[in-house]
Amino acid sequence: MITKNRHTNKFIVTAIAVTMFFSCKNNFKEVQKIGVLQNQPIGEAKNINLKYTEAEDSLGRVIANLESPKMLDYSNREFAFSEFPDGVRLSLYDENNQKNIVLADYAIVYNATELIDLQGNVILITPQKDSLFAEQMYYDQKQEWLFSNHPVELKSVASRSGHGNIFDADTKFNNYTILEGRGETILKD
């Protein structure tokens, strides 16, 4: 009788252990899937046209307009961002509604910092038809400022052309600086 109870107890313990093992394995697969989902975008948009307006202006004057064929929304991440893998066209407007246009092959908008990272064949075109070329440029939406710490080339109709490794400008392109890496000012307007 004692031997029979021992076998029954071992059978029950073994059955419970096997059940728990297989149920944990299934849960582990579900946990792995959750990790994969967190790395995927929470949403995808096509042919977007985002307009940023001046908060203080009661008329809601547009200060920037971002257009792109595709946007991936990663707001499910701890440091939320939106990715534009197929390029962007960013129009930056001044008080007179003149615009500077920034084109890039790729961009990321960081929600918390309101910083736009523009990458790949970045071109800035001013209303005066001046063009600035770079591989990477940043746009600070709060400060309305463009900057880069990568090589840039300015081609100007007014013959202010030049090269440098550091670029810093307001969005109106009224005040800008292009520096060589050693602190030497190449162009300053």
127 and 168, same domain (yes or no) = yes
Asked if 126 and 173 touch (Cβ cutoff 8 Å), the reply is: yes
Same structural domain, 49 and 34? no
The residue range of the domain holding 6 is 1-39
Q: Are residues 64 and 33 in the same domain?
A: no
Instruction: State whether 144 and 159 are in the same domain.
Output: yes
72 and 107 together in one domain: yes
Domain co-membership, 141 together with 129:
yes
Per-residue pLDDT of the chain (189 residues; tens, 9 = 90+): 555 556 566 666 566 665 666 655 555 555 544 554 567 899 999 999 988 887 665 567 888 899 999 999 999 888 899 999 999 999 988 888 889 999 999 999 998 998 999 999 999 998 888 899 999 999 998 888 999 999 999 888 876 678 889 889 888 777 888 887 555 555 555
Number of structural domains (the chain) is: 2
Measure the CA–CA gap between 99 and 177, rounded to whole angstroms.
19
Domain CATH code at residue 114? 2.60.450.10
Residues 143 and 166 in one domain: yes
Q: What is the pTM of this model?
A: 0.72
- Whole-angstrom Cα Rg for the chain: 27
Phi, psi of 7 (to 5 degrees): -65, -40
Q: Is the dihedral of CA 114, 173, 187, 150 positive or negative?
A: positive
